[in-house]
Structure 1
Amino acid sequence: MVETPTLPDGWVLNVLAGWPMDQFVHWPALERAGNVLLPESFTGVAHPDDQSDVVFLCFRTHEGEVQLTTVMSSRSDVPTALDRMRRAAPMDTWKRLCIIGMARFLATVDPDELAKESAENGWGDLRSSWDEAARTWQSQLKGFGRLNAERAESTSIHRRRRNRITREHLEKVAEAYRKADADGAPPTRAVQQVFATTHSTAAKWVAQARKEGILGPAPGSRGGEISKES
Structure 2
Amino acid sequence: MEHMELPEDWFVTAWPDGWDFEKDDYSEPDVRQVGYILVPAGFSLVLHPPGSDDTQSLIMRFEVADGELLLRELYAIGVDLAEWIDVLVADLPPETWRDLALREITTFLTSPERRSQQALAGAESQTVLTGQAARKKPRGRSSKRYRITTEHLERVAKTYQRALEAGTPPTMSVAEKFGVAHSTAAKWVGAARRSGLIPNSQ
Q: TM-score, structure 1 length as denominator?
A: 0.42
Considering Cα pairs closer than 8 Å and 6+ residues apart, tell me whether 1 or 2 has the greater RCO. Answer: 2
Give TM-score scaled by structure 2 length: 0.47
